[in-house]
A and B are shown apart, each in its own frame.
Chain A
Amino acid sequence: MSRRVSVVSLRGLSKEFSRGGVVALQNIDLEIAPGEFVSLIGPSGCGKSTLLRVIGDLVEPTGGEVVVNGKSARQARLDRDYGIVFQDAVLYDWRTVAKNIALPLEMGGWNRGRRRARVGEMIELVELGGFEGHHPWQLSGGMQQRVSIARALSFDPSLLLMDEPFGALDEMTRERLNMELLRIWERARSTIVFVTHSISEAVFLSTRVVVMSARPGQITGVVEVDLPQPRNAETRGEPRFFELVTEVRERLRAGGLDTAGEGGEEELIAAEEGL
């Protein structure tokens, strides 16, 4: 595939929830190139989680077009093009760390030997050596999230969708996992779409920050992050970092920091899916 082909291509995308007639997304256009790290940021209810779910074919759009790796979102899902990480690790309690990481491989029909080898690589990648046989409840929140990331990467998906993956962690764990994620991203050379509430996290991690506003959910601006790669602890102290943080913050303010309806989006998704 040539480098010009987008991994994700959204045209005129909209999503209206049938219950309450709320417009979660309106007229979204976005192209994401291979190897990009794109953050979606915006106030609660701006539809950023919905957008992520539409890309991943977990929610159907009501209008517009989603093309992933040159095919429909559904086909991309069936081809196992997506690795997904949620805010909670969503690990299976009854499986060990190793078995949790192996789950997508079992779905993909990998044989036992290949599974074992790949799980070993993943354990090493997320630095969880010695914890293979542990069950999730024996791990800290940060370690659980590392297992979740290893699971999402295990089958080498071309697109990693992350929905506030570090939102429930303390600041220190969060910054450490940010560094780890960048290291993993560089090694795996995958494309990442990352939903976050944190401006500094978005700027630190991304090659591009997409700013959204609420009601209806729209893209109000795109900030190119021209900080040099690879990024490290010093990056957060550079003047350019602060300039970019300020730029994102101002874009957010321009879009209206309407936080009415905290968590409204999750509820809408739940209602839509009849959960």
Chain B
Amino acid sequence: MPVMASAAVATERWSILSADRVRRGASQGAMLLGVLAGLWALWEGFKWFGEAVDLKIGVFVVDDRTLPHLHSIVARLFEPTAVGDRLLTVLLEAALFTAKEAAVGFAMGAAIGFLIAIVLVHSGLLQRGLLPYIVASQTIPILAVAPMVVVWLGGRGLPGWFSVAVIAAYLTFFPVAINTLRGLQSADPRALELMQSYAASRWAILWKLRVPASLPYLFAAFKISATASIVGAIIGELPAGIQDGLGGAILNFNQYYASSPDDLWATNLIAALLGLSFFLLIVLAERLIVRRAPEHVA
């Protein structure tokens, strides 16, 4: 039976694929360790070299103040702060607070960006008319927008963290809108013709064809936006005068940098890890949701 034979071939191919996946996972793990070791070597090597030759770049010199040992930065995380708790505990609480702002901002921004794309894909006129302003919105520096948002929303009795979430949303919606628009337009023209031949409604074409076709683009945008929303939240905390998040911690440790540089470096490390975990959440969601040929999934 030719059909049975091809079924066997397909299952075999499938099991080869999953063996491939295990091998790829292992090599990715090895790669991660290699990159971490490389970064450590680069950091410590540069520090050792700079100190050995008394390197001066402008006013920048290499010493324990400008470039602390990585191990002392990590060790600092486990030492107590002035208020008593371990620095790690303090920073994780701050990170959690910032994560809440960023997550709410990301959700709002993603929803708004998605809606904008859906409106624009159905009207060439709106697309030509509105797209320039959407692009222009991103040329205004976030630092100029943030204080206004805080004043406006704060004046309406909304909590500070919500203003920060709005600022994060401002950074999020743009890549989502642009990429989703591109993705909605990426559907195969013949697939659209097929939908026409089924007398499909616009709504059905949108949800059964355009949106699924746009998912890889959408997730590419989410990856950019996930990290941008954290940058937005951290920056937004500064004019909002919020002390509870990573932005507050950065501002605080900035003032004490001369005496304890490790504090700021440790905060940066946690901020980077927060961004990374947002990114990985998106990657995980993509793996679970997007069903495409392996070569289509980035």
Contact = CB atoms under 8 A, between A and B. Distances in A.
A137 B208 contact: no
A135 B291 contact: yes
B114 to A, nearest CB: 18
Contacts of A57: 196
Interface string B264-298: 00000000000000000000000000111110100
A95 B204 CA distance: 15
B128 interface: no
Interface stretch (A35-43, A138-146, A187-195, A234-242): A138-146
A58 interface: yes
Q: Which of A80, A83, A90, A127 has the most CB of B within 10 A?
A: A90
A107 B6 contact: no
Interface residue range, chain B: 20 to 34
Contacts of B193: 53, 58, 84
Interface stretch (B7-15, B40-48, B131-139): B7-15
Nearest to A269: B189
A107 B198 contact: yes
A139 B197 contact: no
A107 B13 contact: no
B196 A77 contact: yes
A273 B193 CA distance: 11
B68 interface: no
Interface string B161-197: 0000000000000000000000000001111011111
Contact of A84 (B197, B204, B208, B293): B197
B3 interface: yes
B3 A88 contact: no
Interface in A48-101: 53, 56-58, 77-80, 82-84, 86, 88, 90, 92-95
A21 B70 CA distance: 71
Given A93-B293, A94-B292, A143-B6, A107 B209 contact: no
Contacts of B190: 86, 88, 90
B204 to A, nearest CB: 6
Given A94-B212, A137-B293, A58 B197 contact: yes
Contact of A82 (B3, B197, B215): B197
A117 interface: no
Contact of A130 (B3, B13, B196, B209): B3
Contacts of A264: none
Given A93-B291, A131-B10, A135-B291, A275 B199 contact: no
Q: Contact residue range for chain A?
A: 35 or more
A227 interface: no
A127 B3 CA distance: 7
Contacts of A140: 6
Contacts of B296: 93
Contacts of B194: 84, 86, 90
B294 A106 contact: no
Contacts of A135: 291, 293
Nearest to B1: A127
Interface string B35-77: 0000000000000000000000000000000000000000000
Nearest to A56: B197
Contacts of A134: 10
Given A93-B292, A107-B199, A273-B189, A138 B204 contact: no
A250 to B, nearest CB: 34
Interface string B201-215: 000100011001001
Interface of B: 3-4, 6-7, 10, 13-14, 188-191, 193-200, 204, 208-209, 212, 215, 290-294, 296
23 contacts: A57-B196, A77-B197, A80-B199, A84-B193, A86-B190, A90-B190, A92-B191, A92-B209, A93-B291, A93-B292, A94-B290, A94-B291, A94-B292, A95-B291, A103-B198, A107-B195, A107-B198, A130-B4, A131-B10, A134-B10, A135-B291, A138-B10, A140-B6
Per CB-CB distance, the 7 closest pairs between chain A and chain B, nearest first, are A137-B293, A107-B198, A94-B291, A130-B7, A104-B198, A78-B199, A90-B190
Given A90-B194, A136-B293, 16 more contacts: A57-B196, A77-B199, A78-B199, A83-B197, A84-B197, A90-B188, A92-B209, A106-B208, A107-B199, A107-B208, A108-B198, A128-B3, A130-B3, A130-B4, A130-B7, A131-B7
